[in-house]
């Protein structure tokens, strides 16, 4: 749902340069240069716009570092689950049905819960809670009682300083396993699901230095979920291809910017192949690695963000069937929205104010209007902000 206006047409070799994006009531106009050896071409691209209202905040515990949305009580409304790193708990904020949220209900975790997910690990069709406890070197699993309340945590030992986790079926048994990035151990740990919501001892795979964020995606089209991890101090992203049985090959790495902090896999250019997007914290940009079609990746193309981009996700915020990018800028107290202009390229960011030190971001429809809203954890403000799509 975009249109292009070609100012000049000549064959030439070169690269694209994003100039600016101007916002209007219903469209965003993106200006781009194609920089060639003998001439330049300027493209004007009209995108269907999506803007967001000022955030409405809800109190959490201390240091909310991670947020996920899931319908935990079966009312068809998406609730929020927040990892409160300084309070040693997770907070559940139930959706009132109109996109507002009740006061959080808390459940104890280990020390410094830093990353949270809401997969159904025991197959009862209710989302459970999994948490990486950075200072306890454990993962907590809190099973859903079936009514939106949760059982006491069961813990599993990880490596040193588990910082990020994701749930995915890596061995094809239709049970969700847990993958953890162990920050100080410099490895990723895979916990296979025993089939009843309990987990086997982790099996580890060597990563780079300081693996800080992990994702799971089928990058080579073999219908097996691979592991992707950003190695913060190695300045690279590692791809572990699935051997087909839930074990993984040695990582293949691709250079990122400085101090990559977050990774997501998404098809941003519409070729049905999953690409990789990384938030480069010190470089103040996001890097997009297009999939070559065989599970290898092209060199990153970068887009400027705010200061210290902490996390990145992909979501179609303007409903044009193209995945856009949303970034939490922890140093700028803002979130950035990059609209997809097609072919895996993005317009200049549009920013929205958050609380202090935005860290984790999600995009879901919380009020039932079929528009994706933005949820962000504000670590120093001790709250979660909701930016409704308008």
If asked whether residues 6 and 104 sit together in one domain, one would say no
Alpha-carbon distances of 303 from 298, 309, 339, 374, rounded to whole Å? 15, 11, 11, 20
If asked whether residues 146 and 86 sit together in one domain, one would say yes
Q: Within a 13 Å sphere around the CA of 152, how many CA atoms are in the beta-carbon half? A: 0
pLDDT digits (tens, 9 = 90+) for 351-381: 999 999 999 999 999 999 999 999 999 999 9
Residue position matching structure tokens 């910017």: 257
If asked whether residues 80 and 40 sit together in one domain, one would say no
Alpha-carbon distances of 174 from 68, 139, 167, 312, rounded to whole Å? 22, 21, 12, 28
Name the band, by pLDDT with cuts 50, 70 and 90, for residue 20.
low
Degrees, nearest 5: CA angle 119-124-125: 60
Backbone dihedral region of 321: left (phi > 0), alpha (psi from -120 to 50 degrees) or beta? left
Q: Cα separation of 178 and 267, whole Å?
A: 23
CATH number of the domain that residue 172 is part of: 2.120.10.30
0.85 surpassed by pTM: yes
If asked whether residues 219 and 100 sit together in one domain, one would say yes
The answer to whether the beta carbons of residues 43 and 83 sit under 8 Å apart is no
Q: Cα separation of 341 and 356, whole Å?
A: 30
If asked whether residues 10 and 69 sit together in one domain, one would say no
Residue position matching structure tokens 């151990």: 185
| Count of CB atoms situated within 10 Å of the CB of 313 | 20
pLDDT digits (tens, 9 = 90+) for 43-83: 555 455 679 999 999 999 999 999 999 999 999 999 999 99
pLDDT digits (tens, 9 = 90+) for 295-334: 999 999 999 999 999 999 999 999 999 999 999 999 999 9
Q: Cα separation of 142 and 126, whole Å?
A: 11
- Longest CA–CA span in the chain (Å) reads 67
In this predicted structure, the answer to whether residue 30 has a pLDDT above a threshold of 70 is: no
Identify which of 233, 248, 229 has the alpha carbon closest to the alpha carbon of residue 171: 248
Instruction: Give the pairing of strands 252-255 and 260-266.
Output: unpaired
Q: Which of 32-36, 58-62, 210-214, 284-288 has the weakest average pLDDT?
A: 32-36
Q: Cα separation of 115 and 53, whole Å?
A: 27
Structural domain range at position 16: 1-49
If asked whether residues 191 and 240 sit together in one domain, one would say yes
Identify which of 140, 127, 128 has the alpha carbon closest to the alpha carbon of residue 88: 140
**Among candidate residues 13, 30, 49, the one where a domain is terminated:** 49
The answer to whether the beta carbons of residues 190 and 200 sit under 8 Å apart is no
- What pLDDT shows up at residue 47? 55
Domain count, the chain: 2
If asked whether residues 4 and 64 sit together in one domain, one would say no
If asked whether residues 73 and 161 sit together in one domain, one would say yes
Spatial CB neighbours of 174, under 8 Å, sequence gap ≥ 6? none
| Count of CB atoms situated within 10 Å of the CB of 34 | 18
**Among candidate residues 33, 49, 65, the one where a domain is terminated:** 49
User: Which DSSP symbol is given to 54?
Assistant: P
């Amino acid at each position: 749902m975009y249109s292009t206006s070609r100012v000049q047409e000549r064959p030439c070799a070169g690269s694209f340069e994003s100039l600016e994006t101007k916002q209007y009531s219903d469209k965003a106009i993106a200006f781009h240069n194609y920089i060639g050896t003998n001439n330049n071409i300027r493209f004007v691209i009209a995108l269907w716009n999506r803007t967001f209202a000022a955030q409405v905040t809800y109190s959490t515990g201390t240091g909310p570092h991670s947020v996920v949305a899931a319908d935990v009580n079966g009312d068809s409304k998406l609730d929020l689950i927040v990892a409160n790193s300084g309070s040693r708990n997770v907070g559940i904020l139930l959706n009132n049905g109109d996109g507002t949220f009740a006061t959080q209900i808390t459940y104890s975790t280990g020390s410094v819960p830093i990353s949270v997910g809401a997969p159904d690990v025991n197959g009862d069709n209710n989302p459970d809670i999994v948490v990486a406890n950075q200072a306890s070197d454990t993962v907590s699993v809190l099973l859903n009682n079936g009514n939106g309340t949760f059982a006491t945590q069961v813990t599993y030992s990880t490596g040193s300083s588990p910082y990020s986790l994701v749930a995915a079926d890596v061995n094809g048994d239709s049970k969700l396993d847990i993958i953890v990035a162990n920050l100080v151990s410099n490895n990723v740990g895979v916990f296979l699901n025993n089939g009843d919501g309990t987990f086997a001892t982790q099996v580890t795979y060597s990563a780079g230095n300081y693996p800080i964020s992990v994702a799971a995606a089928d990058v080579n089209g073999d219908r097996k979920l691979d592991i992707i991890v950003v190695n913060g101090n190695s300045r690279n992203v590692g791809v572990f291809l699935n051997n087909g049985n839930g074990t993984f090959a040695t990582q293949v790495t691709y250079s990122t910017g400085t101090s990559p902090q977050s990774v997501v896999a998404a098809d941003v250019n519409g070729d049905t192949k999953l690409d990789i997007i990384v938030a480069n914290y010190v470089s103040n940009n996001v890097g997009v690695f297009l999939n070559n079609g065989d599970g290898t990746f092209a060199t990153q193309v970068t887009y400027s963000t705010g200061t210290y981009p902490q996390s990145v996700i992909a979501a179609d915020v303007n409903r044009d069937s193209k995945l856009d990018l949303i970034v939490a800028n922890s140093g700028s107290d803002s979130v950035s929205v990059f609209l997809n202009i097609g072919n895996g390229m993005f317009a200049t960011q549009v920013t929205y104010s958050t609380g202090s030190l935005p860290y984790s971001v999600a995009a879901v429809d919380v009020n039932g209007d079929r528009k994706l809203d933005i949820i962000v954890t504000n670590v120093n403000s001790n709250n979660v902000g909701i930016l409704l799509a308008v």
